[in-house]
Chain A
Amino acid sequence: MTITSSDNNIGLYVHVPFCLRKCRYCDFLSFECRDDRALHQYANALMREIETRYEEWPYKVVDTVYIGGGTPSILSETDMKHIMECITDNFTVVDGSEITIEVNPATIDEKKLETYLAAGINRISIGTQSFDNSILNMLGRVHNKNDALNAIRLAKKAGFKNINVDMMFGIPGQTLKMWRDSLRQCIFLRPEHISLYSLQIEEGTPFYQMMEKGTIDPVSENVDRTMYHDALDMLENAGYHHYEISNAALPGFESRHNLKYWSYKEYLGMGLGASSFIGGYRFKNTSSMLEYVNFIKQGLPPVKKEDVENYSLRDEMGIYVFTALRKREGFDIRDFEETFGTDFFYVYDPMLITKLRGLIKMDGFVMKLTDKGLDVSNQVMAEFV
C-alpha cells in the first residue's frame, strides 16, 4: 500500500521515555530514571537515529517537531540543545515551524526554558493536569499546584508565545466543582492551548489495581461527561476554539503537529517506541531499550519487521475517517475521494449515515461528529474501520 499525502511537509516526533516518577494512571512507554548517565546515553542514541533517519528520508521537508514523552525536560539542557541541533543540521526544517516540547512543571527552571527557546523550540506543553493538590497527589504527579502555576509563569516570562496546558478530568475523588475550579484557574492564566483528557484507567496501571481492590472508585460515566461538556462550554465562553475531541486553542494556535495525525499527513517518529506514517508506510520503533540501542549501534532504523504494518487500501480508508472525525470540523468527503481515488459511498454503505443518526451529521460534503457523537466517538469510528 503506498499513498503519499498531497502535502509533502512532514512532522517529526521525538520520544523521551523517562520520567522522575511514573504516574498512577500512566500506561505510556516511559520508565522511571534518575541516572544522568543513562539519560545522556539515550540522548546520544537518539541523535544517531536522527542521522540514520535523515539518510532514509533526505527529501522530506519538516514543518513541525514535537518532543514528547515521558518527560523530555528530564534531559539536561546540553543534551536537549544537541538534539535540536542534530534535527536542524540534518533535516530541512522550514522557517516558522511549530516546535514543541513537553515538560513536567517540576523539572523546569528559567535556564532550561531559555536554552529551549535559544535552540528554536517555540511551543511548550506543560503537564499540569490539575491545580488541586489533593488531585495531583492522587494521580501520583511529582509536582504540586504551586509548581504548576510557577511553570506557566516562568514559560511566559521566558518568552514562550505558545503554551499548552494539559488538564485531566474524571479522576477518582474529583468532584465537578474541583474540576471547574481547576479549569477556571487554567483559563485565567490564558494559555494559548488547552488539552482536556478524560482519565482512562488502563489495565496494568496502579490505578487499575486500586480499582480492582476497591480502594478507588472510578468516576461515573455521567459525571465524566458532565465534566467534559461543562469544560467545553467554559472554554467556548472564554474564546477558545474546540477544534479536536480533546483540544481547544485560542484562534490560530491549534497544534499543527497534532493536526497532522488527524489530517492524514505524514510524520516520522524517532526514539523508543515512536510511530511513523511516511512514504505510504506505517511502522513503529522497537519498545525494547536493549533492541533499540543494538539497532542504533549497527546504524539501522530501530524497527522490527513485524512492526511494519501491512495495511490494505481499505484499512487506510478506515484510518483516514476515524482520525479525521476527531476534528470538530470533520472532513470533506471529496478530500477523501481525492486521496483514495474512489467514491466515499462506494466504500461505505450510505445507510451508515442513517444508522449513526444523531451521532454524526453531514453538512453538504462535510461529515462530522455531533455533540452527542463526541461522547461515543468509538461507536462511530468502529463503523468505518
Chain B
Amino acid sequence: MSDYKQYIRNFSIIAHIDHGKSTLADRMIEMTGTVSHRDMRDQYLDNMELERERGITIKLQTTRMVFHSKDGNEYIFNLIDTPGHVDFTYEVSRSLAACEGAVLVVDATQGVEAQTLANVYLAMDEDLEIMPVLNKIDLPSARPDEVRDEIEEVIGVEAQDAPLVSAKEGTGVDELLEEIVQKIPAPSGDENARLKALIFDSYYDNYKGVVIYTRIFDGQVKEGDMIRLMNTNKKYEVTEVGVYSPGPVECNCLRAGEVGYICASIKHVADARVGDTITLDDAPADEPLPGYKKVPSMVYCGIYPAEGEKYENVKDALEKLQVNDAAFHFEPETSTALGYGFRCGFLGLLHMEIIVERLEREFDLSVITTSPSVIYRVVKNDGTVVMVQNPSNLPDPMEIDHVEEPMVRADIMVPKEYVGSIMEICQERRGRMIHMEYITKTRVNLHYDMPLNEVIYDFFDALKSKTRGYGSLDYEFTKYEPSKVVKLDILLNKEIVDAFSMIVHESKAYARGRFVCEKLKEIIPKHQFEVPIQASIGQKIIARETVRAYRKDVIAKCYGGDISRKKKLLEKQKEGKKRMRQFGTVEVPQEAFTAVLKYDDNK
C-alpha cells in the first residue's frame, strides 16, 4: 500500500510560447495510449476554441496518463499543462506548486528565451527538478549543441544528456517518458496523515457545480467526506472525486501524491479560491499549505455592455469568468459616456484581450472596453493617498501633491542586431537601462526599468515588430516612483468622452493626443455635420482634427432591377450603424476604443 507513490510522477511542461509545449503534451497523451489515435486531435489540451485559434495555452489543463516503462512497472503520470505567456505567470506558479518536476522544453532552433527563464525561476522557487528537453530537432536549423551550452550557461542546469525530441514527428518521445520516470522524483506525503490538498485550479460545471483541480499532499479524500476549505472556513460534502484522463473519470478516493478533481456542490466559485487548502472537517490539518504567490492585477480597464446588450448578462458572464480565473476581478462603475459597466483588473494586456474575446465568443456578448490603465498612487496635499485605476477618478490637479506610477523591471532578450532599435523603443517609453549582458555570442539580455504604463500600451507589439518576432519580454513589478503624469481628455463635438480619457506622462501627452485624434478621425464616419475631435489637458486643447460632414451618400445606378444588390448594401449600412455608440450627436464605432491603443509602426 505504501509504495503506490513511487509509481506516480507529477510534472509540468514549461516553455516559452511557441516552443512546442502543447504539441509535446499531445504526443505524450498519444504515445501512452491515453487517447486513441483515432480520437486524437491537435493540441488536445487546448480546449478553448480561442486557444486553438491563437495557438496558445491560456488555461492550465491536467491529464493523467499510464506509462508502461521498460523496467516492467506501470507509472501514473500527471501532466499539468500550463500557459506560456508573460501575463499568466500566476497560473504557471499555481500548477508548478502541485508538481515535483518540470520538463523544460527549449526550441532547438531558437534557444533560451526570456519567458523560458522566467518559468524556470518559478519552477526553481518551488524546488522542482528541472529536466531540459530540446524540441524541434527535425528542423534543419536546429542547433542542439549550441542550445545545450546555452541552457547550461544561462539557466545553470545540466543539459548535456537532455533528450532530443521532435514533438511534431514523435521522435525521442519514448526516451523522454523513460527519462521522466528516472529523473523526476516520486511524490512524498503521508496518506494516513490529516488531509491537506491544494486547489490549483477550478471551473464551474452546470451540473456538478464547482469542479476543483487538486493535488493531495497528505491524507485522502473520498465521496461523502465533509471537507473544509481552510481559507474561507466553509464546509461541503464531497459528491464526486476523480481524475482527468483526459476526460473526467470517477474514482473511489484520491490519496496523498495524487492529482485529480473534487466536486462538492459548491455553488460559488469565490468559495473555492485557487490557492486554498482542502482538509477534512472532522480531522482538520494544523495549518494550511504555504499560500500561493498572489499576483495583483496590473492593468485595469472599463468593460461596458455595447448598445443593446444587457448589463445583467455582462455581469453574469464576468462572474463566470472570475470563477476560473483568480487573477481577474471586477467591480461596478459608471461612465457618463457609456453608462453602467465594470472596472476590471487584469494581469496584462493579453489577459485583458482574452477575457474580452471570451465574453464575445463564449457568452455571445458585445462589449466596449476603455483605455487600459495602471494603478497610480496619488498623494494629495493633505498627505492622504488614493490609488487611482480609472482616469476619471484622478483628483483635481490643485489637490495633488504628486503622483507615483508603477515601475517594472523588464528583461528583453533579442538577437544582437536588434539591440539598437530596442534601445530606441525603450527610450521612447521612458525606459532606463540597468545593464545589458551577452547570453551567447549572438543574443543579448537587456535589463530595463520601465513604467508599467508604457509597457501595457503597445510595447509588446513594438518589440515584436522591431525584431521580426525574435525579441522576447518578461517583466515584473518593482516599485512606485514619482512621475509627472497628466490626465488627457478626448472631446467629440466639444464634449468630453470619459471612456477615452487616459493618464499619460507629461512628455507623451502631445504625441498621444495627436495620435488619438488622428486615429479617431480615420474611424469615425462622416456625419451630417462637422465633428471636431480634440485632445485636451485640463482646459488646454493640445490637438485637433475634424471629421468633415458628408455631402453625398447615394447609389445612383440600380441596374436592370437588381434590387437585392441594393438591399444588401443598405443592410450593410444599417448593420454598421448598429455597431455604433452614440455620444451626444456623434456616432462612434465600437472598434474605436481598441483602435486608439494599437501600435502604429509608422510612429
Contact = CB atoms under 8 A, between A and B. Distances in A.
Interface of A: 13, 15, 28, 66, 68, 196-198, 200, 221-222, 224-225, 245-246, 260-261, 267, 269, 274-277, 282, 284, 309, 315, 318-319, 322-323, 326, 374-379, 381-383, 385
3 closest A-B pairs (Cβ-Cβ)? A221-B551, A382-B573, A376-B553
Interface string B544-563: 00000011111111111111
B571 A385 contact: yes
- Mostly helix, strand, loop or mixed at chain A's interface? mixed
B37 interface: no
B140 to A, nearest CB: 40
A72 B574 CA distance: 36
B68 interface: no
B571 A198 contact: no
27 contacts: A13-B560, A15-B560, A66-B560, A196-B556, A198-B552, A221-B552, A222-B551, A224-B552, A225-B551, A267-B561, A275-B561, A275-B562, A282-B563, A282-B564, A284-B564, A309-B564, A318-B567, A319-B567, A375-B553, A376-B554, A377-B555, A378-B553, A378-B555, A379-B573, A381-B570, A382-B571, A382-B574
Interface of B: 528, 550-564, 566-567, 569-571, 573-574, 577
Q: Among B560, B562, B567, find the residue whose CB has the most chain A CB atoms closer than 10 A.
A: B560
Nearest to A261: B561
A376 B562 contact: no
A284 B567 contact: no
A198 B570 contact: no
Contacts of B550: 221, 376
Contact of B559 (A28, A245, A375, A376): A28
B63 to A, nearest CB: 45
A378 B573 contact: yes
Contact of B563 (A200, A261, A377): A261
B563 A246 contact: no
Contacts of B573: 378-379, 382
Given A200-B557, A275-B561, 4 more contacts: A66-B560, A197-B556, A260-B561, A323-B563
B574 A261 contact: no
B561 A13 contact: yes
Given A197-B557, A385-B571, A385-B574, A275 B563 contact: yes
Nearest to B549: A221
Q: Among A197, A274, A282, A382, find the residue whose CB has the most chain B CB atoms closer than 10 A.
A: A382
A242 B348 CA distance: 61
Nearest to A262: B558
A378 B561 contact: no
Nearest to B577: A382
Nearest to B575: A382
A325 to B, nearest CB: 11
B558 to A, nearest CB: 7
Contacts of A225: 551-552
A322 B556 contact: no
Contacts of B574: 382-383, 385
B551 A275 contact: no
